[in-house]
């Protein structure tokens, strides 16, 4: 099963009010194991960057009301592609994989708004799995932010000084595996030659083409038959 653990950074909270995506980061999982394949892009939002949003992710100092050169860890956006230039490649990367997102309604709202504006196919909401909802159900009444879950599962997030889509998706991948029972929750039993080769996930063992030879000798078989005969007609082994 292919899954994409995904995160976005934006200029605000509402695409219908003019807010836009400025960063997408994603990590690919196959049968709950990271493949090493990632997707990461910064996006020119074609608008200014609010100070409040900049304080969260530190992206786009050149788009502030008072623009300035970037400091260490900050990324400029005027030279980055607009969403319409990367949207089709992003949609192709996602495909029909399940999207694992923390607070999925937020990111899906922005992704589908951007896809709609460029005339690309939207991503069905049912394709997304919300780890925030999973965490709240599993730990009712407890903090369910990404930082809180990292503390709960002893996941190192010391590099998370500012929000960043790729770093957050990498951290979320670890959190997600813990939420569903740790790495390899099914002990790898879902992995098969056909699924590794891309042949699908519905694998069942097939009968052997040639049955294995019996390990019982003729003397053992004769001794067993003699023992069963002594038990009479009601013996379990005589029932069909």
Residues recognised as catalytic: 163
Angle in degrees, CA 2, 105, 168, rounded to 5: 60
Q: Is 9 known to sit in a ligand binding site?
A: yes
Q: Is 7 known to sit in a ligand binding site?
A: yes
Q: Is 201 known to sit in a ligand binding site?
A: no
Return the bridge partners of 9, or none: 23
Q: Which residue has the tokens 């050149």?
A: 62
Structure tokens at 65: 């009301």
Is residue 149 packed enough to be buried (19+ CB in 10 Å), middle (13-18) or exposed (0-12)?
Answer: buried
H runs (alpha helix) in the chain: 51-57, 83-94, 104-117, 131-138, 146-152, 165-179, 193-196, 218-231
Q: Which residue has the tokens 């930082």?
A: 147
Q: Which residue has the tokens 């040639």?
A: 210
Cα 30 to Cα 174: distance, rounded to the nearest angstrom = 14
Structure tokens at 3: 């899954």
Cα 57 to Cα 20: distance, rounded to the nearest angstrom = 14
Cα 34 to Cα 154: distance, rounded to the nearest angstrom = 19
Binding site members for substrate:
7, 9, 52, 57, 168
Binding residues for a divalent metal cation, as ranges, are: 7, 9, 168
Binding annotation: 7, 9, 52, 57, 168
């Amino acid at each position: 099963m292919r899954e994409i653990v995904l995160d976005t950074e934006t200029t605000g909270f509402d695409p219908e009010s003019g807010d836009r995506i400025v960063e997408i980061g994603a990590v690919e999982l196959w049968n709950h194991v990271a493949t090493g394949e990632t997707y990461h892009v910064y996006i020119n939002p074609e608008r200014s960057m609010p100070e409040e949003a900049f304080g969260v992710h530190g992206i786009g100092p050149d788009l502030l009301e008072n623009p300035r050169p970037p400091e260490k860890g900050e990324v400029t956006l005027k030279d980055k592609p607009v969403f319409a230039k990367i949207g089709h490649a992003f949609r192709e990367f996602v495909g029909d994989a399940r999207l694992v997102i923390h607070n999925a309604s937020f990111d899906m709202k922005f992704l589908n708004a951007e896809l709609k504006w460029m005339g690309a196919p939207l991503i069905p909401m049912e394709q997304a799995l919300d780890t925030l909802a999973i965490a709240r159900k599993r730990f009712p009444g407890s903090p369910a932010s990404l930082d809180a879950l990292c503390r709960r599962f002893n996941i190192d997030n010391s590099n998370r000084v500012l929000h960043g889509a790729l770093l957050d998706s990498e951290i979320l991948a670890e959190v997600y595996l813990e939420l569903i029972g740790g790495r390899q929750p099914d002990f790898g039993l879902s992995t098969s030659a056909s699924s590794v080769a891309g042949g699908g996930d519905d694998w069942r063992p097939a009968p052997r083409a040639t049955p294995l030879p019996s390990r019982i000798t003729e003397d053992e078989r004769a001794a067993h038959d003699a023992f069963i005969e002594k038990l009479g007609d009601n013996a379990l082994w005589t029932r069909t």
